[in-house]
Structure 1
Amino acid sequence: MGGNKQDRALISVIVPVYNVERYLDQCVQSIVDQTYRNLEIILVDDGSTDSCPAKCDDWAGRDDRIMVVHRPNGGLSAARNTGIDHSTGDYIGFVDSDDWLDSRMYEVLLSNLLKESADISIISSTYEYGEGRSFSNKLASQYLVMDSAQAFRYVNIPGYYDVAAWDKLCIRSLFDDIRYPEDVRKNEDYGVTYKLLDKAGKIVYDSQRLYHYRQRLDSLSNTVGAVSMEPVHATKYMMDIVAKRYPDALSYARYGYLRAACGVYDTLLRSDSKYRTARIALQREISSFARRYVKSIEKEVHLSQARRIQFHMISYIPWAYGLLFKLYKLVKRTRLE
């Protein structure tokens, strides 16, 4: 463990909880077992209708570092904001209640943050598919100390960190005027992460894979349902920030927008006919943007051959892209089954 400053620092760990009775105990146990002990663990029961409210109260009775807040259902953003409002820690982190942590996660996050005098500390993650199957698309052995301009480059490059809330530890003051958008029910992390990266003076990233991100077919992030356009809106907002304040990173921001927009377009391809108008409009938007900027992006950002093909197919032969995408998803699903 580090010196006295690290030992005294209080970390508020905010855990929004909603109908995850199968996974909650593993999640909370992994937080309770952290090697860094000075934690304030805030379980925000967001109107759960299963056994989660009782489980939360039981955990509070077993560990005096745990606080439980019961609230009417308002969604993930509202639950996170409630946790922030109830927190008293010097630093704030978030955990999704169906995931779990390596025992050293908060020790590493805080140690790096203090060592580099940073405002945000970030680690890496592993996707967990059950039955011992896991995957990570993050590059190993990376340690980066960045200013905001550099952080906006790397957040838009595959293989480093994402926009998620749960892989980060932030100094408390960053949240003085930042909250999660309660009118956004999916992909709410995007805009907030961009605001945090813009506001931070220094950011440190360590690629140790210390967060275990459970992949569930019924989770909010993996269901098609109502399609969220938030990644498109938020990455446009991010491009505006970068264009005004960090123009040297603009090609990376444009690449990040294209990746996010293509991801939403892929979701629209899997959705029912009521999204046809939105799908056509987004395809035209991507096409116009790609034709205008892909060549300049390629001069600064390494694009894989697959990514180049994707951009060109959506731009010029979207019907063929749609057929190939649906075939790919069918083959992938068959392999998983």
Structure 2
Amino acid sequence: MRKIIISVIIPIFNSEKWIKLAVESIWNQSLEDIEIICIDDGSTDSSYAICKLLAQKDSRIIVMQQANKGVSAARNKGINSAKGKYIIFLDSDDYYVKNSLITMFDDINNTGVDCVFYNHFYDYNGRLIPRKPRLDSGEYTFKDVMTSILDDGTLTGILFGSSCGVIYKTEIIKKYNIKFNENIKINEDGLFNIDYLIKTKKFIYSGDSFLYCYRQYKSNGYSDIKLLYQRYNEINNYCNKFAGVITNMDQQLLSRSITVAFQLSVVACNKMAGKKLNILINDLWRNFDLTFYFKHMNFYKINLYKRVLAFFMCTKQIKLFILVVKKVYPLLKSRLRR
């Protein structure tokens, strides 16, 4: 029987434009002892048919189908089927750069750590913008990052917010039954990572290695700000399970309250206009004063774009905040390192 080193899990929903490119980014890797698990999550386009055709060309591709249950359910289905020693995830509209898998395997296999996190590029129609690292590269324990893992004060959210561009040990995931929460619709990756890291002895963050590429072609899908706010509250409720593990959780949740207000304000700017937008943002910011901001934000680590917006937020300059989000950022986003 063929030995499988890495299981690549790809959840798919209406990705007919990108899925072939995503799979080809794995085909073209130098590491061949892999399986590619494609889980179609009730697509209404030709995604499933494309995957079936690809599977006819390569026996390493396993295609599954389910009724639409969401990305978390699709990933969990892939986890249950994974036979590799290690697991990595790939979204169906993204891709890995050349030789990523052999790099990931060598790093985790040669160091003996329990997982390795890598950095990523943002892909704007072929223009690759590297993401600014949020940590120094190196070896860590959960205790080392525990005090900033929910929110590090950079208006970005959970410290390890993506499950893509990470290599995990299948043994740990299955031993502790670590799954994506199927009831949470945003930040599910970050919560999965916290659940996983709590069970690890040590891990590596490789902030200078850019192995994963996120295509930037769509805006936030939420048009209902109240629903999005509800989604964030669901995350906070989930985080209560970490109260006995994360010693400063109350402080991090206060930092997170600023992050949520910031992110909701940005989404609102892209979905709304006029007096309603001003009223909403004023309502989101009303409970924060300057002292609170400086106590719970890490201005030195915030990138330039967010630092400008953070200044407007702190000084309650709503009109300037809206102007930058609506007019300035769209012109600069494919050039700014985030």
Q: Which moved more, 1:17-26 or 1:103-112?
A: 103-112
Quote the residue 1:210 is aligned against: 211
* Secondary structure of the corresponding residue to residue 300 of structure 2: coil
* Aligned residues of 1:14 and 1:42 also touching (Cα < 8 A): yes
Alignment of 1:152-191 (within 5 A): 152=146, 153=148, 156=151, 162-172=160-170, 173-175=172-174, 176-191=176-191
- Residue matched to 1:34: 29
Partner in structure 2 of residue 87 of structure 1: 82
Q: Report if aligned partners of 1:163, 1:193 keep a CA contact under 8 Å in 2.
A: yes
Give the match for residue 145 of structure 1.
Answer: 139
Amino acid at match of 1:34: Q
Q: Please report how far the alpha carbon of residue 252 of structure 1 lies from its aligned counterpart in structure 2 after TM superposition.
A: 6.7
For structure 1, which runs of at least 5 residues remain unmatched after alignment?
Answer: 1-6
How do residues 7-18 of structure 1 correspond to structure 2 at under 5 angstroms? 10-18=5-13
Aligned to 1:3: none
Amino acid at match of 1:194: I
**SS of 1:69 mapped into structure 2:** strand
Tell me the equivalent position of 2:328: 331
- Provide Cα deviations, 1:190-246, integer angstroms capped at 9, x if missing partner: 3222222223221111131111111112xxx63343443377447746976776434
* Partner residue in 2 for 1:223: 221
1:258 aligns with: 258
* Matched-pair contact (CA < 8 Å) for 1:190–1:231: no
Question: Contact conserved, 2:39 with 2:65, CA < 8 A, in 1?
Answer: yes
The two structures have a TM-score, normalised by structure 2, of 0.78
Indicate the structure with greater helix content.
1
**Alpha-carbon separation, structure 2, partners of 1:238 and 1:292:** 28
Bigger shift: residues 285-294 or 116-125: 285-294
1:136 and 2:137 are equivalent in the alignment: no
RMSD (CA atoms): 3.8
CA distance in 2, matches of 1:284, 1:185: 24
Identify which of 58, 82, 85 aligns with 1:63: 58
Structure 1 stretch 326-335 or stretch 246-255: which is displaced more? 246-255
Higher relative contact order (CA 8 A, sep 6+): 2
Deviations, residues 245-293 of structure 1 (Å, cap 9, x unaligned): 34479867754553344112321343348xx69x85x866765466564
Stretch deviating more after TM superposition (78-87 or 110-119): 110-119
How many equivalent residue pairs? 322
8 A Cα contact 1:14 1:43, kept in partner: yes
Q: Which residue of 2 aligns with 1:4?
A: none
Instruction: Please report how far the alpha carbon of residue 148 of structure 1 lies from its aligned counterpart in structure 2 after TM superposition.
Output: 0.6
The aligned amino acid for 2:162 is A
In terms of mean alpha carbon deviation, does 54-63 or 224-233 score higher? Answer: 224-233
Letter of the 2:161 counterpart: V
Shift of 1:94: 0.6
Task: Supply the distance in 2 between the matched residues of 1:191 and 1:139 (Cα, whole angstroms).
Answer: 19
- Report SS of the residue matched to 1:103: coil
Point out where structure 2 has 5 or more consecutive residues left out of the alignment.
Answer: none
Match of 2:17 among 12, 18, 22: 22
Q: 1:292 to 1:245 in 2, by over 3 A?
A: farther
Percent of aligned positions that are identical: 23
Whole-Å Cα distance in 2 between the matches of residues 145 and 257 of structure 1? 29
Alignment of 1:117-132 (within 5 A): 117-130=112-125, 132=126
Alignment of 1:240-255 (within 5 A): 244-247=244-247, 255=255
CA distances 1:71-127 after superposition (whole Å, capped 9, x unpaired): 111221121111112222222211001111112212222222223321121111100
- TM-score of the superposed pair, with normalisation by structure 1: 0.79
Inter-partner Cα distance in structure 2 for 1:192 and 1:169:
13
Q: Which residue of 2 is the match for residue 101 of structure 1?
A: 96
| Contact 1:283 1:315 (8 Å CA) reproduced | no
The amino acid across from 1:81 in the alignment is N
